[in-house]
């Protein structure tokens, strides 16, 4: 019984209670010699010592520092960030540059690129995930541009009858026209403008600086150009990039 309690990790107080009960039972039993009584006491003391050692070990493990949990999405073995150079004494930072003149736009364009659905590429190259926002495409993939266009003065969304021309201009001279339509088979499926282009298998790798131009039925014009950082050596890019 006592050994079973020790294996189950019973606290020292419980072992002491069992020992007291065992001592009482021995004292009440007749015909127990002094040597037998002393042997039981020694066995109980040894078991109590084991429990004490176990408690010390558990306390030490509980207080030991735990390793930090991994960060979801973290890049293993990422290079450390460079230590910033300390500011020299007496250094005065230059004033920030003046804000540029605010541009007044006749039309507002919201443009994104997404991966295509399965089998849409003429070169039979599909994305790992379908219809998700992305700025990185492989050669042979089907690039899809999604756009919403609004009249900046009235806030009206521009539909087919409101637009004379809407296109994507690619850097090699090819133009791809947008079309307005419902995307999805359900009644609540969204309506927006879309254009698509298959990247040739031998197309140059790197940034694809496209340009979107829209001319409304009332001759209002707007242009959208992708902007942002592109530092592939630091895994930073938010411009459309073609990879092999």
User: Residue 14 pLDDT > 60, yes or no?
Assistant: no
Residue listed under structure tokens 């411009």: 239
- The residue among 137, 117, 142 whose CA lies nearest residue 244 is 137
Alpha helices in the chain (DSSP H): 2-7, 12-28, 34-63
DSSP state of 30: T
Q: What is the pLDDT of residues 230-243, one digit of tens each?
A: 677 776 777 899 99
Q: What is the pLDDT of residue 34?
A: 73
Q: What is the pLDDT of residue 69?
A: 60
Distance CA 141, CA 242 (A): 9
User: Residue 3 pLDDT > 50, yes or no?
Assistant: no
Q: What is the pLDDT of residues 52-111, one digit of tens each?
A: 888 888 787 777 776 656 555 556 777 788 888 888 999 898 999 999 999 889 999 999
Question: Helix (H) and strand (E) counts for the chain?
Answer: 3, 13
User: Residue 151 pLDDT > 50, yes or no?
Assistant: yes
Across 141-145, average pLDDT: 98
The three-state (H, E, C) secondary structure of 100-146, written as one string: CCCCCCCEEEEEEEEECCCCCCCCCCCCCCCCCECCEEECCCEEEEE
Residue 212, judged by CB atoms within 10 A of its CB (0-12, 13-18, 19+), counts as buried
| Structural domains in the chain, sorted by start | 2-59 (no CATH), 107-243 (2.60.40)
211-216 and 179-182 strand pairing:
unpaired
């Amino acid at each position: 019984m006592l050994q079973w309690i020790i294996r189950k990790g019973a606290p020292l107080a419980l072992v002491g209670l069992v020992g007291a009960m065992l001592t009482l039972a021995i004292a009440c039993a007749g015909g127990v010699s002094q040597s037998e009584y002393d042997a039981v006491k020694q066995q109980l003391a040894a078991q109590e010592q084991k429990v004490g050692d176990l408690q010390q070990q558990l306390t030490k493990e509980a207080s030991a520092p735990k390793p930090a949990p991994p960060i979801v999405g973290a890049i293993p073995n990422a290079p450390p960030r460079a230590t910033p150079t300390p500011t020299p004494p007496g250094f005065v930072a230059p004033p920030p540059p003046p804000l540029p003149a605010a541009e007044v736009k006749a039309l507002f364009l919201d443009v994104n690129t997404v991966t295509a659905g399965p089998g849409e590429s003429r070169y039979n190259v599909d994305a790992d995930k379908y219809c998700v926002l992305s700025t990185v495409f492989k050669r042979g993939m089907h690039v899809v541009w999604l756009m919403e266009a609004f009249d900046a003065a009235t806030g009206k969304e521009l539909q087919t009858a409101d637009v004379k021309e809407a296109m994507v201009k690619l850097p090699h001279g090819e133009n791809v026209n947008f079309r307005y339509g419902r995307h999805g088979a359900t009644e609540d499926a969204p309506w927006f403008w879309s254009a698509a282009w298959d990247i040739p298998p031998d197309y140059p790798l790197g940034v694809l600086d496209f340009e979107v131009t829209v001319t409304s039925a009332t001759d209002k014009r707007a242009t959208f150009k992708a902007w942002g950082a592109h530092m592939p050596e630091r895994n930073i890019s938010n411009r459309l990039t073609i990879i092999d």
